[in-house]
Structure 1
Amino acid sequence: MDIYEKIMALAKRRGILYKSYSIYGGEAGFYDYGPIGSIMKNNIENEWRNFYVMKEKFYEISTPSITPYRVLKASGHVDEFIDKIATCRKCGKSFKVEELKDDKCPICGGEVEKGEMNLMFETYIGAKKKGKAFLRPETAQGIFVNFPFLYEFFRKKIPFGVVQIGKGFRNEVSPRQGILRLREFSMAEAEIFFHPQNKKHENFDEFKDKKMLLLPAGMDEMEVKLGEAVEKGIIGNEALAYYMAITHEFLIKVGVAGDKIRFRQHEKDELAHYAHECWDAEVFLQRFGWVECVGIADRAAHDLMAHMQATGMNMYASTERKIKKIKIKPKMEKIGKAFKEKAMKVKEALEHAEPGEKIEIELDGEKIEIGNEFFELEEIEEEEKYIPHVIEPSYGIDRIFYALLEHNYKEIEKEGEKYVLLSLPSSIAAIKAGVFPLVAKDGLPEIAKEIEKELRKNKIMAFYDEKGSIGRRYARMDEIGTPFCITVDYQTKDDDTVTIRFRDTTEQIRMDRKDVATWIKERVN
């Protein structure tokens, strides 16, 4: 068994991950998070909120997973969210074109037929199937379509950031990599709105000397300071570099190995249809090599512009700076006499025309020159308007979840017997403390249960266990990454102290029972 197989076996055995619908044979591209896995996943997402909501001062919203057709048509996903596929004429299996071997089916060697497939799941809104829709491929569009309201919420001050954690859906052609390639997956996305001419970040100095491993497009890997990377144009702007640094800090905080992280820049021909520049945070995995788990993209004004054109809704922001502008003011009395029933059309055309001595407008398909006797030019002051650009860090929670399992998986031999240890950060571990009576008699279980109750009262996830030898109970906790185990023994009855065992070192200390909850709370938070 390689490490992937060992981890997936452990995940199933210990309630971390299960294949979805397995009693029916399973369905490729779908996984369930079990009792332990669900808590771990929530802990990862809450740590992400700590970074982006608490530290960065962004706000979180929640929008529907079902998205109307017209929204994703405007955003470009209907036309661009496509994979090239090949279907075997012999066995009927489908694959991505890049998975083919000598243009033959990799399963049976049969001839294939090539085509294209939109990766969005199609559905309908309403009983009569009139409202075509899709399950969202990203959470981002729910933020973009709310921009006018969010801009008001933030009191028209830019930059500002909005985040969303939720499900995304992609009808993958051939998902065969566990939770690395799912058809329904968890995303955590931040959309940060900037002035297009000012993508500096006020806190960039915190990270300008931070060294990171980069793989720029068309270049070799390099370890470089972020400030230098921005100065040399390797990274397009400070905002991108800043959120790359935040991503690096987050990945390490949740348990991804720092020496197995790099940032790879997309080549021009692999950029998404909405991206101006994009860097992937990749993690190294033994079976799969370098795998993308976060994309940090400069989406420019693509999305706001697209939705403004599709709906006519104002997606502009404004600065406090006033600009002088020449405005055409139609003379309605003269226009009415000259153009009669067409007067209002002339007025509207003039208001949208460029100022000049004579103005050419289009009226009912005919070009007409309007002399200056029909209008006057007026100098006015307006706020400077612009469509904001967007920097987007987009996190694949499931891929990060697998990476931290692999990077913290250890096999330890003790007294000739191998056992598994998950060396997870205590903030991510599902169970913070195992609580055990040394033996299940003589009043020890009652004391241990009181300690478990006290820990949970203090919002510390604790687990009581009295089954099996104390060594076996320690091993069960080690396998799910529990950082501390508390043992109640006969000395506890004499002096009200307990032993606390450290997961990674197996060192044990003795402590007053009344201090346990505070001591553990300080270390797991």
Structure 2
Amino acid sequence: MSETANATETEGEPTSEKLVELAKRRGYFFQSSGSYGGVGGFYTFGPQGAALKGNVEDAWRDRFAVAEGNMEIDAPTIMPEPVFEASGHLEGFDDMLVECPDCGESHRADHVVEDDTEYEDAESLPIPEVEEVIAEYELVCPSCGAGLAGQAVEAFNLMFATNIGPGDSQPGYLRPETAQGIFVEFPRLKEYARNQLPFGVTQIGRAYRNEISPRRSIIRTREFTQAELEYFVDPETDEPDLERVENVEVALYPASEQQTDDGEVIETTVGAAVEEGVIGDPWVAYFLGVAKPWYESVGVDMDRFRFRQHLSGERAHYAADCWDAESEIDGNWIELAGFAYRSDYDLSKHAEHSGDRFTVFRQYDEPKTVERATVDPDMSYLGPEFGGDAQTVVSELEALAGRDRAAFEGDAVEIDLEGETREIPVEKTGFAVEEETIAGEHVTPHVVEPSFGVDRLVYTVLHHAYREDEVDGEERTYLELPPEVAPTFVGVFPLQNDADLEAQADEIVDDLREAGLSVSYDDSGNIGRRYRRQDEVGTPFCVTVDYETIEEDQTTVTVRERDTTAQKRLSVDELAETLTAIREGDLAFDEL
């Protein structure tokens, strides 16, 4: 039963191919609809993968919803077309598509460029420039090798369209991000927050993008899970508590470094980065400081992790600043999350298109007396003079009074009516400046958005946890997953097929599950083979019930730790309490 405790890790980086094979064999993830040939961009998480993904989501919820005092919602994944017209997704949510003239396969043009040239961020290039690069480098189709020079690169909208209801149904779309489900409900959500800024709303759920060329297993798919926080702030009065994160050490790759030949990642702290202007927005800095230790806690290797600032060409036009959390996978950096300051773009757009109020009333400390310009037009004059356009004239006069009082200082005021300049005597406008006492004003909040990709994070955690070593002369593969997120926390084995051993093992399984621990029971094969199975799925501890357990006066079992293969005898009476303390981080195995 015992093993050599000083396992030696072999050299060499784990490959994605090994991980994908392990994931399929051990039930982490695999391509969906395999019986029908599979379909690109869709993956099923098996028993181990679903448990790991659920644990990661729970850890995110604990940190970004519960610990930060934010609320959580669960909005529909299908939304009507006007939502995406307002958000800009109908017009601008595109990728660059190039089609092979020989085999007809469609490819992401920017990926074709990045894979075979020195360009690292072709997505930020305009389409004409991408076409020029393809021609200059004589790039070819990744599928058949045919030349792509001269082929048109086109914008392809990534949203999945659908219809809502029968007959003359309403057009709708599967949401490409969970964020819009939060934004459109803001008029109601602000009431739950008692109209007090700042407040945050989180959501964990599915999003859909009709990717041109999904690839790299669950890194780029057509259906995926996002965990997003939309944090609503008053841009004039709200500031983050940077003291909470100012000493968090971060690896930053700012735009200035990316644009030089010898640019490097900057090792600094959140506080220093804000003070030196490396991170321009303090709210973005705050959430980078919250995210970094959280990523480490769920198993991301900090030696292969950084925050990269968006270049001006890839940053959304409404984003004042944006940083990505990135992890290194087999020499490539992949995006795990985006941290953006979205200003008031989203709420203003939905207010404009829906007619609803997407503002919060800001109460002044003391009422203020202000001057307000008003008009009270003489309709007995406007009616005969302008006929059916009279009400339009009233609206124009009201708008002009609000923005330019000086326009009413002469004898006549000019307005634009369907492209024609018309004059109206000022005495007929009823123009006046009045004093008014107001208690506050309506403010459109700005939005800070940390947006996390859950599937990519699960892949990163597995990749960074992948280990190969040698134990007792045999090669071993194991996943060094943190106990907090491992799909199974403890495996329980009877040493042999013996009724008494099995009965004791069953009792231990019940006790551990009652304590809230995830448990796997295994009585198949020799004990070494069972250890290897649990190692390969990342189970941190194994409990073996042997004859000492049932024969000795004090009932004890062997507890084996996954990474070192070290073993200790523990009392069955204290087993659940001890393992729970280890899982919660209150006790270390080597302290037993």
TM-score by length of 1: 0.94
| Corresponding residue number in structure 1 for 2:297 | 253
| Corresponding residue number in structure 2 for 1:453 | 510
Corresponding position: 1:153 with 2:192: yes
3-state DSSP of counterpart to 2:313: helix
What letter corresponds to residue 279 of structure 2 in structure 1? I
| Corresponding residue number in structure 1 for 2:7 | none
1:409 to partner: Cα distance: 0.8
| Corresponding residue number in structure 1 for 2:422 | 367
| Corresponding residue number in structure 1 for 2:271 | 227
Corresponding position: 1:428 with 2:428: no
Instruction: Report the Cα distance in structure 2 between the residues aligned to 1:274 and 1:344, rounded to whole angstroms.
Output: 35
| Corresponding residue number in structure 2 for 1:290 | 333
3-state DSSP of counterpart to 1:50: helix
Deviation by residue 1:327-374 (Cα, 9 ceiling, x = unmatched): 344447xx2443358776665554444253455555677634352562
Mind listing any 5+ residue stretches in structure 2 that lack a counterpart?
Answer: 1-12, 117-137, 258-262, 585-592
Q: 2:350 aligns with which of 307, 310, 318?
A: 307
Q: Is this contact kept in 2: 1:199–1:238, CA < 8 A?
A: no
Q: Is this contact kept in 2: 1:80–1:273, CA < 8 A?
A: no
Q: Is this contact kept in 2: 1:487–1:499, CA < 8 A?
A: yes
Corresponding position: 1:444 with 2:501: yes
Instruction: Report the Cα distance in structure 1 between the residues aligned to 2:15 and 2:98, rounded to whole angstroms.
Output: 31
What letter corresponds to residue 313 of structure 1 in structure 2? D
3-state DSSP of counterpart to 2:401: coil
Instruction: Report the Cα distance in structure 1 between the residues aligned to 2:401 and 2:360, rounded to whole angstroms.
Output: 22
Corresponding position: 1:510 with 2:554: no
Q: Give the alignment of 1:308-327 within 5 angstroms.
A: 308-321=351-364, 322-327=367-372
1:92 to partner: Cα distance: 0.7
1:261 to partner: Cα distance: 0.8
1:196 to partner: Cα distance: 2.0
1:497 to partner: Cα distance: 1.6
Deviation by residue 1:132-157 (Cα, 9 ceiling, x = unmatched): 22111100011111111111211111
Corresponding position: 1:37 with 2:49: yes
TM-score by length of 2: 0.84
Q: Give the alignment of 1:154-233 within 5 angstroms.
A: 154-198=193-237, 200-202=239-241, 204-219=242-257, 220=263, 221-233=265-277
Q: Is this contact kept in 2: 1:328–1:350, CA < 8 A?
A: no
Instruction: Report the Cα distance in structure 2 between the residues aligned to 1:275 and 1:122, rounded to whole angstroms.
Output: 27
Q: Is this contact kept in 2: 1:200–1:237, CA < 8 A?
A: no
Deviation by residue 1:93-138 (Cα, 9 ceiling, x = unmatched): 1111130562432332324432221111111112236422211110
Instruction: Report the Cα distance in structure 2 between the residues aligned to 1:180 and 1:211, rounded to whole angstroms.
Output: 27
Deviation by residue 1:456-499 (Cα, 9 ceiling, x = unmatched): 12221111111111111111111111111111111221322212
Instruction: Report the Cα distance in structure 1 between the residues aligned to 2:168 and 2:507, rounded to whole angstroms.
Output: 57
What letter corresponds to residue 311 of structure 1 in structure 2? S
Change beyond 3 A, Cα 1:39–1:500 = same
Instruction: Report the Cα distance in structure 2 between the residues aligned to 1:22 and 1:489, rounded to whole angstroms.
Output: 42
Instruction: Report the Cα distance in structure 2 between the residues aligned to 1:360 and 1:116, rounded to whole angstroms.
Output: 44
3-state DSSP of counterpart to 1:270: coil
Q: Give the alignment of 1:102-181 within 5 angstroms.
A: 102-112=138-148, 113-114=151-152, 115-128=154-167, 130-181=169-220
Instruction: Report the Cα distance in structure 2 between the residues aligned to 1:370 and 1:224, rounded to whole angstroms.
Output: 65
Q: Is this contact kept in 2: 1:179–1:398, CA < 8 A?
A: yes
Q: Is this contact kept in 1: 2:240–2:283, CA < 8 A?
A: yes
Instruction: Report the Cα distance in structure 2 between the residues aligned to 1:290 and 1:129, rounded to whole angstroms.
Output: 46
The aligned length equals: 521
Mind listing any 5+ residue stretches in structure 1 that lack a counterpart?
Answer: none
What letter corresponds to residue 124 of structure 1 in structure 2? N
1:377 to partner: Cα distance: 2.3
Instruction: Report the Cα distance in structure 2 between the residues aligned to 1:207 and 1:429, rounded to whole angstroms.
Output: 27
Instruction: Report the Cα distance in structure 2 between the residues aligned to 1:272 and 1:199, rounded to whole angstroms.
Output: 23
What letter corresponds to residue 579 of structure 2 in structure 1? I
Backbone CA RMSD of aligned residues? 2.1
Instruction: Report the Cα distance in structure 2 between the residues aligned to 1:429 and 1:58, rounded to whole angstroms.
Output: 26
What letter corresponds to residue 244 of structure 2 in structure 1? E
- The percent of aligned pairs where both chains have the same amino acid is 40
Corresponding position: 1:354 with 2:401: yes
3-state DSSP of counterpart to 2:496: coil
Change beyond 3 A, Cα 1:501–1:482 = same
Q: Is this contact kept in 2: 1:169–1:183, CA < 8 A?
A: yes
1:29 to partner: Cα distance: 0.9
| Corresponding residue number in structure 1 for 2:281 | 237
1:2 to partner: Cα distance: 5.8
Q: Is this contact kept in 2: 1:282–1:294, CA < 8 A?
A: yes
